[in-house]
Amino acid sequence: MKKLILVTNDDGYLAPGVRRLIEWLEPFGEVIAVCPDGPRSAQSMALTVSTAMRITRVDDYKRDGSVLYKCNGTPVDCVKLAMHTVLPRIPDLVVSGINHGSNAAVNVLYSGTMGAVFEGTVFGIPSVGFSLTSHSMDADFLPCRPFIESIVKKVIEKGLPEGVCLNVNIPKDCIPSGMRVVRAARGKWSDEYQEYTDPFGNPFYWLCGRFINEEPEAVDTDEYCLAHGIVSIVPEVVDRTHSDVDAISSLLSL
Amino acid sequence: MKKLILVTNDDGYLAPGVRRLIEWLEPFGEVIAVCPDGPRSAQSMALTVSTAMRITRVDDYKRDGSVLYKCNGTPVDCVKLAMHTVLPRIPDLVVSGINHGSNAAVNVLYSGTMGAVFEGTVFGIPSVGFSLTSHSMDADFLPCRPFIESIVKKVIEKGLPEGVCLNVNIPKDCIPSGMRVVRAARGKWSDEYQEYTDPFGNPFYWLCGRFINEEPEAVDTDEYCLAHGIVSIVPEVVDRTHSDVDAISSLLSL
pLDDT(A144) > 90: yes
Answer whether B35's CB lies under 8 Å from B70's CB: yes
At A176, the pLDDT band (50, 70, 90 cuts) reads low
Within 10 Å of residue B62's Cβ, how many Cβ atoms? 9
Per DSSP, the residues of B26-71 read GGGSEEEEEEESS--TT-TT----SS-B-EEE-TT---SS-EEEEE
Q: Which three-class secondary structure state does DSSP give residue B180? A: strand
DSSP for residue A186: P
Q: What is the CATH number of domain B4-183+217-240?
A: 3.40.1210.10
Write down the domain spans for chain B. Answer: 4-183+217-240
Residues listed for chain A: 254
Q: What is the CATH number of domain A4-183+216-250?
A: 3.40.1210.10
pLDDT(B28) > 90: yes
A43: burial class by Cβ within 10 Å (0-12, 13-18, 19+)? buried
Residue of chain A with shortest Cα separation from B39: A50
Question: What is the maximum span of chain A, computed from C-alpha positions, in angstroms?
Answer: 64
Amino acid (1-letter code) at residue A192:
E
Give me the pLDDT at residue B21, please. 97
* B155 to A227, A245, B159, B170: CA distances (angstroms): 38, 15, 5, 18
Pairing state between β A164-170 and B187-190 = unpaired
Q: Could you give the CA distance from residue A239 to residue B241 in angstroms, rounded to a whole number?
A: 11
Per DSSP, the residues of A153-205 read HHHHHH---TTEEEEEEE-TT--S--EEE-BPPPEEEES-EEEEE-TTS-EEE
Give me the pLDDT at residue B222, please. 97
Angle of helix A75-84 relative to helix A112-122, nearest 10 degrees? 30
For chain A, the average pLDDT equals 95
Give me the pLDDT at residue A64, please. 79
DSSP for residue A179: E
Q: Could you give the CA distance from residue B127 to residue B151 in angstroms, rounded to a whole number?
A: 11
Give me the pLDDT at residue A173, please. 75
Q: Which three-class secondary structure state does DSSP give residue A164? A: strand
Least confident of A78-82, A205-209, B70-74: A205-209
The number of C-beta contacts closer than 8 angstroms across A and B is 222
Give kind and range of the element (H or E) at residue A189: strand A187-190
Q: What is the distance in angstroms between the Cα of A237 and the nearest Cα belonging to chain B?
A: 5
Residues of A in contact with B184 (CB under 8 A): 239-241
CB contact under 8 A, A166 and B248: yes
Residues of B in contact with A184 (CB under 8 A): 239-241
At B65, the pLDDT band (50, 70, 90 cuts) reads confident
Residues of B in contact with A106 (CB under 8 A): 122, 238
Name the most confidently modeled range: A62-76, A160-174, B55-69, B118-132: B118-132
Q: What is the distance in angstroms between the Cα of A64 and the nearest Cα belonging to chain B?
A: 26
